[in-house]
Structure 1
């Protein structure tokens, strides 16, 4: 649901090629034509101050830069944006805002190395405001989750073509509203967060899907988006689960085919389509 008029500002649309054709030698000693995922650096600037260099696929770099800065607590008001300019010739994304950035140095000085793909970092403003997050109580059906997982199989195009990437999807019911792939799962979630933020969309009726594991950082980012359900084909960490419990996020992991594990929020799910139980062997 759109709750406000979208902000107006200067923005490029600098999508880069997602894969590149290469040759490889298979186990038979034969040459085969394949595609591999692209990976390129993108240095994010805020009011001409370099903040971070992200290694990215380059699918939607403007949204990635904005989502990263928003999730890290560097910016908060989309209506104060003046421009977002991505230039792949110099591998940069320059974000200009009218918001005050007087506390930027203090936030940059406080950082934590995370369990993100590769080596991730969060800064001092990342945890700001999570105590005030109030998420709605979702109502889900097991049959809807199965339908969503089936629909998601039509996505992951870069992964199917080249591998080596993660995918994230913004969903309503069993429909995928937006899907993005990147070399790191946090780039993908930041991209979707940036798009939601610009569109001023509410997360109340949405579900977030990721191919990556459910760590504390992933849970916090989804909570900041206002989304009450987090679904992954991968596993969860102890801190991720503790935060999901604290923030009221329904956490569903190891979701593939007709299998899933609800680590928190099972009372929000109607188990209306249980698959046949596997026969136990002695």
Structure 2
């Protein structure tokens, strides 16, 4: 099987408690699915993910881990849906790259369930060099479009959404129960479509964590937008990796935390 897609959400019955009493009803919940990635006969990781755009997820994950550099490095990808396996054949010897990260279980809740990643990311994160600028109006417009096109979140409230954009338009949106998975799907999309990222902007629904900044650096994207807050480590990394981090984009205001020189326009207040 060369590709695999399953429903991103399922209908479940439930009992809802309200001030007027109990109601027996139905609701949609996000799907959660374990995927084990086997590379050249070796197990690399088990991802707990949403079962959509799985091929992009595999390619983006392997690139993020430094196992491949381009989509062409993947010679073959096959899936066993019943067992939840992706079998990947890639160019070269992957043993050293796999040993750097060791075999991991990467949970959907992100954070510490994904074993601390900074040492391994040092091999693949890089300083971003881009002259791309964005206006506040464009930031608001991109975040509004991300919200309006987040169908699975609007249906279930149970996924993260990430979009690859240019300042004037949203190009690709991906959703997943794991924020790192949503970004890896975007990375896989960029690699498979051989897109240059020097004009790129990353719009994201969740908080700007250190992992989000590292993913942006690996993709070569110099501007990160979010409706939520950043962490201190994320901002330290954004400063170092030359990434503009903008958070709390909501209700007509936003916070520019790092590299404000990329923000321009009629109401940038001279920044």
Matched, 1:66 2:73: no
The equivalent position to 2:22 in structure 1, one of 12, 23, 29, is 29
1:143-222 equivalent positions in 2, closer than 5 A: 143-222=137-216
Moved more, 195-204 or 221-230: 195-204
Task: Report the 3-state secondary structure (helix = DSSP H, G, I; strand = E; otherwise coil) of the residue aligned with 1:99.
Answer: coil
The number of aligned residues is: 264
1:90-101 equivalent positions in 2, closer than 5 A: 90-101=83-94
Deviations 1:20-40 (A, max 9, x none): 111122222011221100101
Deviations 1:79-113 (A, max 9, x none): 232111222211011111122224145313498x9
Task: Report the 3-state secondary structure (helix = DSSP H, G, I; strand = E; otherwise coil) of the residue aligned with 2:11.
Answer: strand
Taking structure 1 as the reference length, the TM-score comes to: 0.86
* CA positional deviation for 1:69: 1.2
Question: Given the superposition, is the C-alpha separation of residues 152 and 110 from structure 1 closer, same or farther in structure 2, using an over 3 Å criterion?
Answer: closer
1:124-135 equivalent positions in 2, closer than 5 A: 125-131=120-126, 133-135=127-129
* CA positional deviation for 1:72: 1.1
* CA positional deviation for 1:123: 7.7
Task: Report the 3-state secondary structure (helix = DSSP H, G, I; strand = E; otherwise coil) of the residue aligned with 2:100.
Answer: helix
Query: Unpaired segments of 5 or more residues in structure 1?
Result: 1-10, 276-282
Question: Do the aligned residues in 2 keep the contact of 1:145 with 1:174 (CA within 8 Å)?
Answer: no
The equivalent position to 2:134 in structure 1, one of 122, 132, 140, is 140
Taking structure 2 as the reference length, the TM-score comes to: 0.89
1:238-257 equivalent positions in 2, closer than 5 A: 238-257=232-251
Deviations 1:41-98 (A, max 9, x none): 0111111211111111111111111111110112224323211122221101111112
Question: Given the superposition, is the C-alpha separation of residues 12 and 118 from structure 1 closer, same or farther in structure 2, using an over 3 Å criterion?
Answer: farther
Deviations 1:151-209 (A, max 9, x none): 22221111111111111011112321111111111000011001111222111101001
Question: Given the superposition, is the C-alpha separation of residues 134 and 156 from structure 1 closer, same or farther in structure 2, using an over 3 Å criterion?
Answer: closer
